[in-house]
Structure 1
């Protein structure tokens, strides 16, 4: 791969268009019913945290190109920057809960601790909770109280909203069953997080783990150990994951052909790009483009 080209931008919602504008946006909550713009089947990103609480729906939710079933009492957790889109074969009912990164830090000041925010932790691989009818019936009144407080617009409403949301997320967290790889040292997590930030900035120009390790002032081995402990994957795999994510996005959303996408991602060898993609995705680039451009056109 060689440096110098930047791919097209994915549609990105900087603030929730349901409420709040610009830097003033902190939080909003809206019903899914009766909104012509929902569901959003096209793949897109948010710059804020996004929770989809499905009271009743039937369909699929594609999140970072993994597909999850949507069914009644599903709760999905989407972090800033993740690519997603969803469909429902019936009129969906439920809520979209949106809050800014600033609001999230007010909720969980120690967000580096995986146990404090498991649904938005980088090592978490199951961004959905399927509640039982009993669990939903127990938690739903909290959501209604949250909605009521937000709509009333009384003094200090954000303080009350923050408290209700924190209680709701903690109650949901109790239902979460952690993976073994999520029990990691904060030090390893911190290094991995810094590595992921660098990947986002340099994945089109840096080709080796050593390039990143040098910027982080650690050895290749130390970086690999931290990443492995935090995510269960190697540092090289995370770099490849980011390149593959961009390849998938371009294949699904752009009008570029496969050769043009390979060039845009700085692959000098078109055939190597095709082998690299198929090895990791189990589909050729053309097969992937056909599958997802049809599903989300």
Structure 2
């Protein structure tokens, strides 16, 4: 699996230039027409985590690999990519067109009460892809056109307007799949669960065999969060309906699938970086989670 791609990597490898002052532009926002982007960028897109958010409107036939899942899509799709989750796009034809925009979390953090990761499409296990019909395609494309127009303007508050356009697309997608979780009141249990989830996600993706998954138990997380393990278990159970151990196992299995599918590391290397003392323990865990051995899943 490739290392995390930074915005600097994106501009250097895909557009052959880095915008001035990018390192001092904490939030950073930019938007592109997909056709122009693919004329310039010839480097293959790697399956990797990015350190920035991305929203794409893509027309065409392709497979997108997201975490441990792969989905073939034909037509128009609105995609929301979470920087914590590795992904890549595999085109199946030469008819791609559309738009995409990129931005760092800081672009919103000072202006948005809720964390972006609390939005359903950016939540762990959330739905990142929304197929669009012709009318929906036109509506979302118009939003991208407005963002491109504002980027070229000298309007003093253009980035405030662009933030509104991004949220317009977010809500457009959410109306297609309503979620009761959006902007719900956050209580103490939910806050603790969110912090636990963020701490869990910080350990992924595993990008080299030398990287180790270290926080493996509820007790490990409780110690890191400075709370009693019973309190952590109770808060997570009340907030999600799942146990702390269940969340850890589910995320560990997801990462194991991604490593088996997208790397050529052997089973022993994968077992070791995921924190298992013996490959046999990893085999037992993986089969319990998926009903397949790691080798059978890879093949």
Q: What is the TM-score normalised by the length of structure 1?
A: 0.79
Q: Quick one: distance in 2 between partners of 1:153 and 1:288?
A: 54
Matched residue of 1:103: which SS?
Answer: helix
Pairing of 1:141-156 with structure 2 (within 5 A): 141-152=142-153, 155-156=156-157
Q: 1:172 to 1:270 in 2, by over 3 A?
A: closer
The question of whether the paired residues in 2 share the 8 Å contact of 1:181 and 1:230 is answered with no
Matched residue of 2:79: which SS?
Answer: strand
- After the TM superposition, which of the residue ranges 199-208 and 259-268 deviates more from structure 2? 199-208
Q: Quick one: distance in 1 between partners of 2:65 and 2:43?
A: 12
Give the aligned partner of residue 109 of structure 2.
105
Q: Quick one: distance in 1 between partners of 2:52 and 2:287?
A: 32
Give the aligned partner of residue 206 of structure 2.
none
Does 2:97 correspond to 1:88? no
Aligned length: 278
CA deviation after TM superposition for structure 1 residue 99, in Å: 0.8
CA deviation after TM superposition for structure 1 residue 82, in Å: 0.8
Q: Deviations over 1:78-130 (max 9, x none)?
A: 1122111122212321112111110122452223794xx332234x6222222
CA deviation after TM superposition for structure 1 residue 38, in Å: 7.2
Partner of residue 66 from structure 1, selected from 41, 66, 69: 69
RMSD: 3.1
Q: 1:283 to 1:28 in 2, by over 3 A?
A: farther
CA deviation after TM superposition for structure 1 residue 135, in Å: 2.4
Q: 1:107 to 1:131 in 2, by over 3 A?
A: farther
Does 2:223 correspond to 1:214? yes
Matched residue of 1:13: which SS?
Answer: coil
Matched residue of 1:45: which SS?
Answer: coil
Q: 1:207 to 1:13 in 2, by over 3 A?
A: closer
Q: Quick one: distance in 2 between partners of 1:274 and 1:182?
A: 40
Give the aligned partner of residue 27 of structure 1.
29
CA deviation after TM superposition for structure 1 residue 211, in Å: 2.3
Give the aligned partner of residue 208 of structure 2.
none
The question of whether the paired residues in 2 share the 8 Å contact of 1:181 and 1:232 is answered with no
Give the aligned partner of residue 82 of structure 2.
79
Give the aligned partner of residue 248 of structure 1.
257
CA deviation after TM superposition for structure 1 residue 46, in Å: 0.9
Give the aligned partner of residue 171 of structure 1.
172
Give the aligned partner of residue 275 of structure 1.
284
Give the aligned partner of residue 51 of structure 1.
55
The question of whether the paired residues in 1 share the 8 Å contact of 2:189 and 2:235 is answered with yes
- After the TM superposition, which of the residue ranges 135-144 and 193-202 deviates more from structure 2? 193-202
Q: 1:94 to 1:226 in 2, by over 3 A?
A: farther
Give the aligned partner of residue 11 of structure 1.
3
Between the two structures, name the one with larger relative contact order (CA 8 Å, sep ≥ 6).
Answer: 1
Give the aligned partner of residue 293 of structure 1.
none
CA deviation after TM superposition for structure 1 residue 172, in Å: 3.3
Moved segments of 4+, more than 6 Å: none
Give the aligned partner of residue 197 of structure 2.
196
